[in-house]
């Protein structure tokens, strides 16, 4: 049987829980951080509109996860557990921010993904692609959190629907539906924006 | 103007109306168009790509299949919208819908010949099916996420160690959590022992009181 992300997660979590060697525990933890760091930062960024705040939240969330990992009874559900910690960390950050009232601007400078770049296309086409990507990204940030989460897990983490369902503790049909609806919502938002422009 | 907009506004941009009316230019009016739509109801595999289950399912079939791994090739359809540039375009659909270019050099209708499909009006094709433009959001979401993710640097092992090393509760919290877990595991025998101890103490106390009273 091939190893699924959940299996990998479980093995790493068990290493962290059972290993007596601090080095092994830290290495296992680092692998989990490396696996989910970008998704966590993106999810936080979409709520906070600040990359630096998002990274701070991600660090906080992973530190909390490190502290409480021994209490995680189902190692295979690490991702869902982590996402709950992230959500709480985001809420804490928003509360802190309300006190500070210091909202930073989002300074995400998107680079064109090589996946979309076609050879032989000029700079104009590249600019158009960048525009489309940014339009979709901006529209995505306006989606409800649950949709953003499934899209990030599906298209950034490349998790199959089953793994997402396991991580979030939802039926697979719900997850499929949520991805479908999220894409449809984005399509609708883009359609409206395009109609408004023209 | 964005790429999708441009594609939508000028789908058959390669040739003008006067140069190449093409059957796709007037797709809805094309003879046999309705029959072609019926043909679409039958999956017609070509290059491993199946046609949609029914004409009305054209975009939704993409959505559904595009949601899974098996739909990657279908999801590519909405991006290029150009059969010459994108080998992923399900040419069967175009051919079955009668979207052959009538002005190609050899005047043949071969779905494997890009020239035969060039200049077809995908916009009209889509309008006929759903009355709204098809945007391959899925692919752009993936690209957008990856593009944004690429700007995020993953912390190294040293960074991670420094966070948890900076945490003064690191050792004590981990030990505490382990202690709690162990406690949970051994809790019931402890409760039992404590209960027995208290019971014994009470019995002994009662016995002692009785002894005193008897004297």
pLDDT one-digit tens code per residue, A174-189: 888 888 888 888 877 7
Q: What percent of chain A has pLDDT over 70?
A: 77
What's the rounded mean pLDDT across residues A159-181? Answer: 86
Flag whether pLDDT at A157 surpasses 70.
yes
Q: A142 falls in which pLDDT band (50, 70, 90)?
A: confident
Per-residue pLDDT, B163 = 82
Of these ranges, A123-132, A157-166, B38-47, the one predicted with the greatest mean pLDDT is A157-166
Checking B171-179 for CB contacts under 8 A at 24+ apart, the result is B173/A67, B173/A68, B174/A67, B174/A70, B177/A67, B177/A68, B177/A69, B177/A70, B177/A71, B178/A70
Report the distance separating Cα A86 and Cα A56, nearest Å.
11
Whether A174 contacts chain B with CB within 8 A: no
More confident call, B133 vs A167: A167
Q: What is the CA radius of gyration of chain B?
A: 36
ipTM > 0.90 for the complex: no
Q: How far is B145 from chain A (nearest CA, A)?
A: 6
Whether A115 contacts chain B with CB within 8 A: yes
Whether B146 contacts chain A with CB within 8 A: yes
Report the distance separating Cα A32 and Cα B31, nearest Å.
60
Contact B137 A136 (CB under 8 A): yes
Tell me the pTM: 0.51
Report the distance separating Cα B53 and Cα B61, nearest Å.
7
Write the CB contacts of B15 (distance below 8 Å, at least 6 apart in sequence): B22, B103, B118, B119
Chain mean pLDDT for chain B: 56
B117 contacts B100 by C-beta, under 8 angstroms: yes
Measured between beta carbons, the chain A residues lying within 8 angstroms of B69 are 160
Per-residue pLDDT, A58 = 92
Flag whether pLDDT at B43 surpasses 90.
no
């Amino acid at each position: 049987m091939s190893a699924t992300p959940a299996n990998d997660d479980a093995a790493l979590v068990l290493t962290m829980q059972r290993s007596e060697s601090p080095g092994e525990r830290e290495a296992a933890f680092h692998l989990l951080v490396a696996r989910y760091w970008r998704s966590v930062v993106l999810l936080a960024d979409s709520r906070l509109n600040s990359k630096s705040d998002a990274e701070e939240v991600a660090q906080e969330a992973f530190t909390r996860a490190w502290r409480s990992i021994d209490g995680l009874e189902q190692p295979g559900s690490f991702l869902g557990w982590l996402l709950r910690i992230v959500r709480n960390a985001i809420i804490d950050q928003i509360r802190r921010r309300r006190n500070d009232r210091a909202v930073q601007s989002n300074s995400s400078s998107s680079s064109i993904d090589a996946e979309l770049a076609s050879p032989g296309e000029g700079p104009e086409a590249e600019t158009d692609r960048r525009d489309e990507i940014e339009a979709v990204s901006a529209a995505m940030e306006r989606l409800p959190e649950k949709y953003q989460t499934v899209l990030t897990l599906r298209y950034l983490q490349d998790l199959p629907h089953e793994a997402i369902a396991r991580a979030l503790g939802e039926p697979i049909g719900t997850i499929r539906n949520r991805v479908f609806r999220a894409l449809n919502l984005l399509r609708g938002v883009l359609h409206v924006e395009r109609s408004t422009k023209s | 103007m964005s790429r999708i907009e441009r594609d939508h506004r000028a789908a058959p941009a390669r040739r003008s109306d006067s140069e190449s009316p093409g059957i796709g230019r007037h797709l809805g009016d094309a003879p046999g168009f309705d029959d072609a739509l019926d043909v679409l109801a039958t999956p017609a595999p070509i290059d491993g790509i199946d046609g949609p289950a029914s004409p009305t399912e054209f975009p939704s079939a993409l959505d559904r299949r595009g949601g899974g791994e098996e739909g990657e090739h279908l999801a590519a359809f909405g991006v290029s919208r150009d059969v010459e540039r994108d080998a992923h375009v399900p040419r069967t659909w175009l051919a079955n819908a009668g979207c052959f270019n009538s002005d190609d050099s050899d005047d043949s209708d071969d779905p494997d010949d890009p020239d035969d499909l060039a200049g077809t009006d995908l916009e009209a094709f889509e309008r006929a099916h759903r009355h709204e433009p098809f945007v391959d959001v899925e692919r752009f979401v993936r690209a957008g996420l990856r593009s944004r993710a690429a700007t995020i640097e993953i912390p190294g092992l040293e960074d991670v160690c420094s966070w948890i090393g900076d945490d003064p509760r690191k050792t004590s919290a981990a030990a505490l959590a382990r202690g709690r877990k162990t406690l949970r595991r051994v809790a019931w025998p402890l409760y039992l022992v404590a209960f027995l101890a208290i019971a014994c103490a009470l019995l002994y106390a009662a016995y002692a009181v009785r002894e005193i009273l008897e004297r």
